[in-house]
């Protein structure tokens, strides 16, 4: 019995047993050292304890939680292919963790500006966190805005990247950098609230920013060139299939039908809504959530395209699911 088959047998009998756990541990240490600890480590260092935490999270969220390890063991033809697929999976896990940190950092900055700048006022009687409603101080409308996130995103797009002096950093910058500096972020929020025709919640402001600045895609797939997938080898092909199946498995029957119809319509949200009998906003939410899941599994734009194509093929094969 060769080494790969031994690992498969261990998985069948024990799940992640001692041999698999040892292999995963050996992948974690050299991989995490390629990422700045100030950016990617929750403790600012890559020591043994931190690496053990990374290993535990990786297993819980991806390898065991999403059954990615089972799929990789089934797809790999050699132990080398398995190691390559696992390494890519860990890199995706690390970059996705950082993407969530950036979103959290942005949330805190927006909240701080809203609470401290006299240009904005809260109309809530008490702090409600993400559900607290805000408006421009000069606004005379204390009622909730009737505009959808998509309509608010269109208003947000009235200010171009040049107007806002947008700064986009790759994941290897030396700090969790904002995409907007504070003066421009303040200008952006004020423009949005002034034109919203009513109050807007903090969570809606963040959601609009995610649409306006393509945060899930830009922050997750804009990787350093040294980590881009330049070739589509067998190991990468296996991981593409694993990732696509993971995305499809997280769609319920109705969502799968919506995404399948979206592909069939050539990417038209309005036509998809008509085909499925849903409103455009619901269709948009499902499609964009699917895109986010694809980005979570991607290490480069090429990977994202390949995963999306495989998702499409899987949905077509299964008639929507």
What DSSP line would sit under 278-314, residue for residue? --HHHHHHHHHHHHHHHHHT-SSHHHHHHHHHHHHHH
3-state secondary structure of 134: strand
Residues of the chain with pLDDT under 70: 1, 99-104, 125-128, 167-179, 214-239, 299-301, 319-321
Residues 141, 84, single domain; the answer is: no
Residues 265-276: tens digit of each pLDDT? 888 888 999 989
Residues 93, 112, single domain; the answer is: no
User: Of 47, 71, 99, which closes a domain?
Assistant: 99
Residues 81, 166, single domain; the answer is: no
Long-range contacts, 300-305 (Cβ 8 Å, 24+): 300/221, 300/223, 300/227, 300/228, 300/229, 301/221, 302/228, 302/229, 303/221, 303/229, 303/236, 303/240, 303/243, 304/217, 304/221
Residues 6+ apart with CB under 8 A from 41: 32, 35, 50
At residue 230, the pLDDT reads 33
Residues 291, 308, single domain; the answer is: yes
Residues 120, 207, single domain; the answer is: yes
At residue 73, the pLDDT reads 92
At residue 41, the pLDDT reads 85
Buried b (16+ CB within 10 A) or exposed e, 254-281: ebbbbbbbbbbbeeebebbbebbebebe
Angle at 189 between CA 126 and CA 210, to 5 degrees: 95
CA distance 282 to 264: 17
At which residue do the structure tokens 């890559």 appear?
46
At residue 157, the pLDDT reads 87
Residues 57, 143, single domain; the answer is: no
Torsion sign, CA atoms 6, 9, 11, 14: negative
Residues 188, 247, single domain; the answer is: no
The Cβ of residue 289 has, within 10 Å, a number of other Cβ atoms equal to 15
Helical pair 3-14 and 79-116, crossing angle rounded to 10 deg: 60
Segments forming the whole domain that contains residue 124: 101-221
Residues 67, 110, single domain; the answer is: no
User: Of 221, 239, 270, which closes a domain?
Assistant: 221
Residues 81, 145, single domain; the answer is: no
Residues 82, 108, single domain; the answer is: no
Count the domains in the chain. Answer: 3
Bridge partners for 198 per DSSP: none
Residues 125, 215, single domain; the answer is: yes
User: Of 166, 195, 221, which closes a domain?
Assistant: 221
At residue 301, the pLDDT reads 64
Residues 158-178: tens digit of each pLDDT? 988 788 887 654 443 333 444
Residues 88, 176, single domain; the answer is: no
At residue 51, the pLDDT reads 92
CA distances from 169 to 135, 148, 220 (A): 30, 29, 11
At residue 126, the pLDDT reads 58
Buried b (16+ CB within 10 A) or exposed e, 123-145: eeeeeeeeebbbbbeebeeeebb
């Amino acid at each position: 019995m060769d080494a790969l088959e031994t690992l498969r047998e261990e998985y069948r009998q024990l799940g992640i047993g001692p041999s698999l756990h040892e292999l995963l541990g050996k992948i974690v240490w050299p991989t995490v050292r390629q990422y700045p600890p100030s950016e990617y480590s929750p403790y600012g260092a890559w020591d043994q304890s931190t690496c053990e935490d990374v290993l535990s999270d990786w297993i819980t969220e991806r390898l065991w939680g999403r059954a990615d390890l089972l799929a990789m063991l089934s797809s790999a033809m050699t132990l080398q292919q398995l190691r390559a697929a696992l390494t890519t999976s860990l890199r995706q896990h690390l970059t996705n963790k950082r993407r969530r940190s950036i979103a959290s950092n942005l949330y805190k900055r927006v909240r701080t500006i809203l609470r401290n700048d006299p240009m904005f006022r809260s109309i809530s009687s008490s702090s409600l966190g993400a559900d607290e409603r805000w408006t421009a101080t000069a606004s005379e409308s204390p009622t909730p805005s009737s505009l959808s996130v998509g309509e608010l995103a269109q208003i947000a797009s009235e200010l171009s990247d040049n107007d806002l002096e947008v700064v986009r950093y790759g994941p290897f910058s030396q700090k969790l950098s904002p995409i907007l500096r504070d003066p421009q972020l303040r200008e952006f929020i004020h423009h949005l609230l002034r034109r919203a025709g009513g109050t807007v919640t903090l969570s809606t402001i963040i959601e609009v920013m995610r649409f306006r600045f393509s945060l899930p895609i830009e922050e997750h797939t804009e990787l350093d060139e040294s980590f881009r997938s330049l070739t589509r080898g067998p190991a990468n092909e296996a991981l593409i299939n694993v990732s696509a199946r993971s995305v499809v498995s997280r769609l319920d029957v109705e969502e799968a039908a919506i995404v399948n119809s979206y592909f069939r319509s050539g990417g038209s949200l309005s036509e998809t809504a008509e085909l499925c009998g849903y409103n455009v906003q619901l269709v948009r939410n499902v499609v964009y959530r699917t895109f986010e899941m694809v980005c979570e599994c991607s290490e480069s734009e090429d990977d994202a395209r390949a995963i999306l194509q495989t998702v499409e093929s899987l949905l077509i094969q299964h008639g929507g699911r």
